[in-house]
Amino acid sequence: MSPRALVLALLFAPAFAHAAALERLQVERTDTPLYVDAATPRFSWVIHAEKNGTAQIGYRLQVSRGGKRVWDSGEIRSAQSFDVVYAGPALVPGERYDWRVEVKTSEGTATGASSFGTALDEAGWAGARWIGKADAASLPAPLLRRTFHVGADVARATLYVAAGGYAAMQVDGKPASDAVLSPGFTDYAKRVEVTATDVALAPGEHELAAELGRGFYGMTNPNVWHWERAPWHGQPRVRAVLVIRYGDGHIERVPTDTQWQLADGPTRLDDLYGGEDYDAQKAVPTAWAPATELPAPAGRLVAQTEQPIWVTQVLNAVEITEPKPGTFVFAFPRVIAGWADFDVTGPAGTTITARYGEKLLPDGTVDARDEHHYFKHGFQTDHLTLGEGRTQWHARFSYKGFRYVQVDGWPGKPDLAAVKASIVHTDVAITGRFDSSNDLLNWIHRATVDTLLNNLHGIPTDTPMYEKNGWTGDGMLGADMFLRNVDAGALLTKWVRDIADTRGTDGAPLVTAPNAGWALDVHAPTWHSAYVLVPWSIYMATGDRAPIDEHLEGMARYVAMEHARSPGGIANTELGDWVSPETDPSGENAPEDKRVAATAYLYRMERVVADMQRLTGHPDEAARFDRMADEVRAAFNARFLDGATATYRGEGDQGYRQAHNLLALAFGLVPDDLRQRVAAGVAADARARGDHLDTGALATKLILPVLTATGHADEAWAIATQVTFPSWGFWRANGATSLWEHWKLASRSRGHYFLGTVDDWLFEDVAGLRPLEAGWRRFAVQPALTGSLEHASAAVMTPYGEASVAWRKSPEGIEADVLVPVGTEADVGLPGHAHRVLASGRYHLALP
Task: List pLDDT tens digits, range 223-280.
Answer: 999 999 999 999 999 999 999 999 999 999 999 999 999 999 999 999 999 999 999 9
Distances (CA, A) of 240 to 76, 195, 208, 542: 41, 9, 10, 33
Please, which pLDDT band fits residue 185 given cuts at 50, 70 and 90? very high
pLDDT at residue number 120: 98
- Would you give the distance in Å from CA 702 to the centre of its chain? 21
pLDDT at residue number 834: 78
pLDDT at residue number 832: 76
What is the DSSP annotation of 442-465?
HHHHHHHHHHHHHTBSSSB-BIII
497-517 confidence digits (pLDDT tens): 999 999 999 999 999 999 998
79-102 confidence digits (pLDDT tens): 999 999 999 999 999 999 999 999
Q: How many Å apart are CA 414 and CA 214, to the nearest integer?
A: 31
Task: Name the packing angle between helices 594-615 and 619-640 (round to 10°).
Answer: 160
pLDDT at residue number 106: 97
Helix (H) or strand (E) holding 560, with range, is: helix 546-564
Helix (H) or strand (E) holding 730, with range, is: helix 728-733
Helix (H) or strand (E) holding 836, with range, is: strand 836-838
Amino acid at the residue 392: Q
pLDDT at residue number 4: 34
Q: Is the pLDDT of residue 180 over 80?
A: yes
pLDDT at residue number 647: 98
Average pLDDT in the chain = 96
338-374 confidence digits (pLDDT tens): 999 999 999 999 999 999 999 999 999 999 999 889 9
137-171 confidence digits (pLDDT tens): 999 999 999 999 999 999 999 999 999 999 999 99
Q: Which long-range contacts (CB under 8 A, 24 or more apart) does 718-722 make?
A: 718/686, 718/687, 718/691, 719/686, 719/691, 719/692, 719/693, 720/440, 720/441, 720/444, 720/758, 720/761, 721/438, 721/440, 721/441, 722/691, 722/692
What's 602's DSSP letter?
H
CB atoms under 10 Å from CB of 369, counted, come to 12
E strands, 73-199, are: 76-77, 84-85, 96-105, 108-117, 131-132, 142-150, 154-164, 166-171, 174-175, 191-198
Please, which pLDDT band fits residue 12 given cuts at 50, 70 and 90? very low
Q: Which residues, including other chains, have CB under 8 Å from residue 509's CB and lie 6 or more apart?
A: 472, 499, 500, 502, 503, 528, 530, 531, 558
Please, which pLDDT band fits residue 649 given cuts at 50, 70 and 90? very high
583-605 confidence digits (pLDDT tens): 999 999 999 999 999 999 999 99
- Mean pLDDT value of segment 644-652: 98
Q: Is the pLDDT of residue 6 over 70?
A: no
The neighbouring-strand residues paired with 433 are 795
pLDDT at residue number 643: 97
- Mean pLDDT value of segment 815-840: 93
Stated pTM of the model:
0.97
Amino acid at the residue 712: H
pLDDT at residue number 7: 36
What's 130's DSSP letter?
P
Distances (CA, A) of 333 to 134, 402, 403, 433: 43, 11, 7, 22
Distances (CA, A) of 309 to 115, 157, 165, 218: 23, 22, 14, 19
559-578 confidence digits (pLDDT tens): 999 999 999 999 999 999 99
Q: Is the pLDDT of residue 10 over 60?
A: no
What is the DSSP annotation of 483-526?
HHHB--HHHHHHHHHHHHHT--TTS---SBSS-SSTTTT---HH
Burial of 820 (0-12, 13-18, 19+ CB in 10 A): buried
CA trace torsion 699, 705, 709, 712 (10° rounding): 80
- Mean pLDDT value of segment 129-137: 96
pLDDT at residue number 1: 34
- Mean pLDDT value of segment 805-824: 94
Give first-to-last CA distance, the chain, whole Å: 12
Q: Which residues, including other chains, have CB under 8 Å from residue 481's CB and lie 6 or more apart?
A: 448, 452, 753, 756, 757, 759, 760
Q: Which residues, including other chains, have CB under 8 Å from residue 514's CB and lie 6 or more apart?
A: 185, 186, 187, 216, 459, 470, 498, 501, 502
Q: How many Å apart are CA 384 and CA 393, to the nearest integer?
A: 8
pLDDT at residue number 14: 35
- Mean pLDDT value of segment 720-725: 98
Please, which pLDDT band fits residue 17 given cuts at 50, 70 and 90? very low
- Mean pLDDT value of segment 782-807: 97
Please, which pLDDT band fits residue 812 given cuts at 50, 70 and 90? confident
Distances (CA, A) of 36 to 85, 260, 353: 13, 28, 43
- Mean pLDDT value of segment 52-56: 97
Q: Which residues, including other chains, have CB under 8 Å from residue 68's CB and lie 6 or more apart?
A: none
